[in-house]
A and B are shown apart, each in its own frame.
Chain A
Amino acid sequence: MATKKKLNKKPVKSKPAKTQSAAAAARNRQEKTFLRAADLDLEKFEPTNEQKKDLYYYLLLNRAFDDRVAKLYRQGKIIGAAYGSRGQEATSVGSTYALGKDDIVGPIIRNAGSIIVRGLPVKNFLSNFVGRSTTPTRGRDGNSHLGDLELGVFAPISHLGSLVINLAGCALAFKIKKQPRVALTYIGDGGTSTAEFHEGMNMAAVWKLPFVCIIENNNWAYSTPTSHQNLTPDLAVKGKAYGIEAIVMDGNDVMEAYRVSKYAIEKARAGNGPILIESKTMRMKGHAEHDDAFYVPKEQFAEWQKKDPIIRCEKYLLDHRVITAQENEAIKARVAKEMEDAEEFALNAPFPNSGDGVTGVYAD
Chain B
Amino acid sequence: MATVTYLEAISMGLREEMLRDSNVYMIGEDIGVYGGAFKVTKGFIDEFGEDRVMDTPISEAGIIGVCVGSALMGLRPVAEMQFADFISCGFNQLVNQAAKLHYRWGEAVPMVVRCPSGGGVHGGPFHSQNPEAWFFHVPGLKIVSPSTPYDAKGLIKAAIRDNNPVLFFEHKYLYRRIKGEVPEDDYIVPIGKGEIKREGKDMTVIAYSSAVHWALEAAEQMQKDDGISVEVLDLRSILPYDKELILQSVKKTSKAIVAHEATLTGGVGGDIAAFITEHAFEYLDGPVKRLAALDTPVPYSPPLEAHFLPNKDKMLKTMRELAAF
> Are B126 and A358 neighbours in the complex by a CB distance under 8 Å?
no
> Are B34 and A357 neighbours in the complex by a CB distance under 8 Å?
no
- The interface residues of chain A lying within 8 Å CB-to-CB of B124 are 80, 140-143, 145
In whole angstroms, how far apart are the Cα atoms of A80 and B300 in the complex?
A: 8
Tell me if A16 counts as interface (CB < 8 A to partner B): no
Number of residues of chain A lying within 8 A (CB) of chain B: 41
In whole angstroms, how far apart are the Cα atoms of A80 and B29 in the complex?
A: 21
Stretch among A65-73, A155-163, A334-342 lining the B interface: A155-163
In whole angstroms, how far apart are the Cα atoms of A80 and B308 in the complex?
A: 17
Q: Which residues of B are in contact with A by a Cβ distance under 8 Å?
A: 29-30, 32-34, 37, 55, 57-62, 83, 85-86, 88-89, 121-127, 294-297, 299-308
Q: Chain B contact residues: over half helix, strand or loop, or mixed? A: loop
In whole angstroms, how far apart are the Cα atoms of A143 and B58 in the complex?
A: 22
**B61, B89, B295, B300, most chain A CB atoms within 10 A:** B300
Tell me if A333 counts as interface (CB < 8 A to partner B): no
Residue in chain B with minimal CB distance to A351: B303
Stretch among A99-107, A216-224, A254-262 lining the B interface: A216-224
- With beta carbons under 8 angstroms apart, the residue of A81, A132, A195, A230 that contacts B301 is A132
> Are A354 and B57 neighbours in the complex by a CB distance under 8 Å?
no
- The interface residues of chain A lying within 8 Å CB-to-CB of B122 are 79-80, 131, 142
Tell me if A306 counts as interface (CB < 8 A to partner B): no
> Are B303 and A80 neighbours in the complex by a CB distance under 8 Å?
no
Encoded as 1 (CB less than 8 Å from any B CB) or 0, chain A from 330 to 359 comes to 000000000000000000000111111110
Tell me if A147 counts as interface (CB < 8 A to partner B): no
In whole angstroms, how far apart are the Cα atoms of A140 and B122 in the complex?
A: 11
Closest Cβ–Cβ distance, residue B300 to chain A (whole Å): 4
> Are B297 and A140 neighbours in the complex by a CB distance under 8 Å?
yes
Closest Cβ–Cβ distance, residue B213 to chain A (whole Å): 22
> Are A223 and B34 neighbours in the complex by a CB distance under 8 Å?
yes
> Are B89 and A357 neighbours in the complex by a CB distance under 8 Å?
no
In whole angstroms, how far apart are the Cα atoms of A143 and B122 in the complex?
A: 11
Tell me if A51 counts as interface (CB < 8 A to partner B): no
Q: Which residues of A are in contact with B by a Cβ distance under 8 Å?
A: 79-81, 131-133, 137, 139-143, 145, 157-161, 190-191, 193-196, 221-224, 228-230, 295, 351-358, 361
> Are B301 and A191 neighbours in the complex by a CB distance under 8 Å?
no
Closest Cβ–Cβ distance, residue B73 to chain A (whole Å): 23
- The interface residues of chain A lying within 8 Å CB-to-CB of B301 are 79, 131-133, 139-140, 142, 351-352, 357
- The interface residues of chain B lying within 8 Å CB-to-CB of A354 are 303-304, 306-307
Beyond the given A195-B62, A354-B306, could you list 16 further A-B residue pairs with CB under 8 A, ordered by the A residue number? A79-B302, A80-B123, A80-B300, A81-B123, A131-B300, A137-B300, A140-B300, A141-B125, A141-B300, A142-B122, A142-B301, A190-B58, A193-B57, A222-B30, A224-B55, A356-B303
In whole angstroms, how far apart are the Cα atoms of A351 and B304 in the complex?
A: 9
A-B contact pairs, 25 of them (CB 8 A): A81-B123, A81-B127, A131-B304, A133-B301, A137-B300, A139-B303, A140-B304, A141-B124, A141-B125, A142-B300, A157-B126, A160-B58, A193-B57, A193-B58, A194-B60, A195-B61, A223-B32, A224-B29, A224-B55, A230-B57, A351-B301, A351-B303, A358-B307, A361-B296, A361-B297
